[in-house]
Amino acid sequence: MKHTKTAREMLAQIENDFFKGARLAKAILLKGDERRVFKLAQVERLLTEQHGSSPLAMRLSDMFWTADEGRVQMEPVNPLLSLTDQQTLTDEEMQQLRLILEVAGLCHDVSLHFTFDLKEAFGIRKDDFWVSNKQLVEWLNTTAYERIAMHTAYTMKKFAIGVYEYGHYLPAQDELAELFSLEYNELVRMPDNTKIPPRAYVRTILDALLAIERHWQRGRRLKLRPDLVILHDEIYGVVPRQFDKGVLEAAQALFDYMDTQLQGRLVLKEYNFNASSWDEQPESVRRTWDEVLHRFAEKVREVRSAYLAEGWVTDDSVAFSYLMAHAERCGQGWWREEDDAL
Amino acid sequence: MMSNNRGEYASPSLWLSALRQDGLWLSQLQQLQDPKADVSALREVAMRKIGQGLTFEFWDSYRHQVEPVVMEVWGIEELTLPKLKIQTIGMLSMEWIEQQTTTTKKTKLETDEAKKYWLRLEEAGFTDANCALMPETTRKQAMYIAELFAEKLGIKSKWKIFEQLWGISNLAQEKWDMQETGSTPSRSKEIDKIFED
């Protein structure tokens, strides 16, 4: 299916709907930092102005691309993205189109929380969405573009969740997934769905990310193995802000057991990788699984009575559940993979 | 012992079914079924398990139905399965406690005293022999009956139990409207008479 509008008509419509009063004709001459600042101002405005329940930024992005990561063209393809149709535009119109696409691209990535080129967008040297990127953190805390800062902070949270999920660091993943602002007594939802003021919103996310990062820095200084740090935090059921000696001893006892008695015990040649549910696994697999994990659960109870105070790591706690998940992965061979990084 | 790997479950419903058979939930259920159990303490523990995050918000908006909450949270994929497991055990515990409370209240509607009122309501044409509302009974009359019934039998949170019994919603809204307008439903005097003595 083809668009009924010509490229020129479409360009005029977009200018009218999204850039009225923005002086695009003048802005096309801007270069370097001035051009970057112009684009940020436009994105900030488009993130702030609403059309129905969604910001204009998302509508502008929808004119060209789907909500998928990258640049998947919307059907029917916008004539402004067709090389043939673009040839019907004058040089000046093409320059305007280039600028519009730069703004729309940033609107797409920022409003849908995909990572983007930080150097291109914010003029930041290090292209990294991790909280250790000091220049990025400073930019977010001080910028006048508060909506962009909120969305970018949310993207950092989403990015960190992905990293922690991949690293099987469950307490951190859950802390960020259900991040709660005690100050505003509110869950940290997406920026378009929060009552938390912009600065506080950004600060809440960055504080949470920084606290986890600092905890790991402390762990590295103490030369703790990554699996030991994770076991320590799993015993807490959250990411604590310090390392406790007694809890570390308990974690070490579990670490030693996992290292010698558990690692790889669930790598079974009878395991059916095509099974669509657990019930379809051979009986021998299910039996071994049960036995191995029951033994680990017993070990947790033993460690609990030896090292921890009453109320810690009860069978029905998140902490116990985290440890069991860790044991399952260890049994499947996910163990001490990051030791080389120490 | 159930797996903590999402890949082992073709759907969130299958995961929930597996959880309902899991030793952890079954031992929790045993505690709930203990006649000596301190229900308010168990309720508090269950609510702590659910927490105050995303799962709680869905649980609240789905009016305490467990399955749709699990479907939603599963779809977002940010929360880990071990945590969702504990939260779901909290929700299942609350579901059990709430069902028990409703059942206890429903039995109050089956006492001899209650039967006397049901018979009078049936004779007056407000309900049928199965305690269901007659088609001509209005929502306002239903609210009025529920109010007086609850008062006579000492039932708290009356709206929920009568809404469930009659399959209607928002009786509290009817009550609020009545207070706002100051008008009582038609045949209210007849209803008053039914609940006299």
Do residue B5 and residue A293 have CB atoms under 8 angstroms apart? no
pLDDT band at A342 (very low <50, low <70, confident <90, very high): very low
| Contacts (Cβ under 8 Å, ≥6 apart) of B101 | none
Query: What is the rounded distance in angstroms from the CA atom of residue A78 to the CA atom of residue A59?
Result: 13
Of A221, A239, A268, which residue sits at a domain end?
Answer: A221
Residue A338, pLDDT above cutoff 80:
no
Same domain, A300 and A238: yes
> How confident is the model at residue B3, as a pLDDT?
84
Residues A76 and A172 in one domain: no
Q: Residue B51 gets which letter from DSSP?
A: -
Q: Does B8 touch chain A (CB under 8 A)?
A: yes
At A272-282, the pLDDT tens digits run 888 877 778 89
- Residue of chain A minimizing CA distance to B83: A318
Which residues of chain A have a CB within 8 Å of the CB of B8? 277-278
Tokens representing A138 are: 């400073």
Same domain, A125 and A181: yes
Give the end of a domain, one of A172, A201, A221: A221
In terms of domains, do A171 and A210 share one? yes
Of the partner residues B1, B2, B83, the one whose CB lies closest to the CB of residue A174: B83
pLDDT of residue A7: 95
The two three-digit tokens of residue A43, written as one number: 């994105």
Q: Is residue A134 domain-shared with residue A248, that is, in the same domain?
A: no
Shared-domain flag, residues A53 and A126: no
Cβ of B144 under 8 Å from any chain A Cβ? no
CA atoms of B85 and B89, how far apart (whole Å): 6
Domain boundary among A57, A78, A112: A112
Counted residue by residue, chain B has a size of 197
**A200, A257: one domain:** no
Distance from C-alpha of B159 to C-alpha of A214, rounded to nearest angstrom: 51
Kindly state the tokens that stand for B42. Answer: 């168990």
Kindly state whether residues A341 and A229 are assigned to the same domain.
Answer: yes
DSSP A242-270: S--HHHHHHHHHHHHHIIIIITTTT--TT
Question: Residue-wise over A61-83: b if at least 16 C-beta within 10 A, else e?
Answer: bbbbbeeeeeeeeeeeebbbbee
Query: Quick one: average pLDDT of A304-324?
Result: 96
Dist CA A122 CA A144 (whole Å):
12
Kindly state whether residue A13 falls inside one of the protein's structural domains.
Answer: yes
pLDDT reading at A127 higher than 80: yes
Between A252 and B3, the more confident residue is A252
A vs B: CB pairs below 8 A:
77
pLDDT of residue A2: 63
Q: Residue B66 has which token pair?
A: 């467990």
| Contact in structure between A323 and A254 (CB atoms under 8 Å) | yes
**Which residue numbers of A have CB closer than 8 Å to B's CBs?**
158, 161, 165, 170, 173-174, 176-178, 180, 187, 276-278, 289-290, 293-294, 297, 315-318, 321-322, 324-325, 328
- C-alpha B127/C-alpha B134 separation (Å) is 5
B147 vs B186: CA distance, rounded Å = 15
- Residue A16: inside a domain: yes
SS3 B127: strand
In a domain, A296, yes or no: yes
How long a stretch of residues is chain A?
342
pLDDT (0 to 100) of residue B157: 67
Same domain, A30 and A58: yes
Residue A2 lies in a domain: no
Instruction: Write down the mean pLDDT value for chain A.
Output: 94
Whether A27 maps to a domain, the answer reads yes
Do A286 and A186 share a structural domain?
no
- For residues A51 and A100, membership in a common domain is answered with yes
Q: What is the mean pLDDT of each run of 10 residues along chain B (197 residues)?
A: 84 93 94 88 94 92 93 93 97 91 71 87 89 89 90 78 79 83 88 88
Q: Within this chain, do residues A236 and A331 fall inside the same structural domain, yes or no? A: yes
| Residue A1 domain flag | no
Partner-chain contact B79 A177, CB within 8 Å: yes
**Per-residue pLDDT averaged across A176-192, rounded?**
94
Total domains, chain A: 3
Query: Residues 6 or more apart from A158 whose CB is under 8 A from it?
Result: A113, B78
* Percentages (nearest 5) of helix, strand, coil residues in chain A: 60, 5, 35
Of residues A271 and A300, the one with the higher pLDDT is A300
Q: Which domain holds residue A215?
A: 118-221
The pTM of this model reads 0.81
B13 touches chain A (CB under 8 A): no
Q: What's the token pair of residue A335?
A: 């163990």
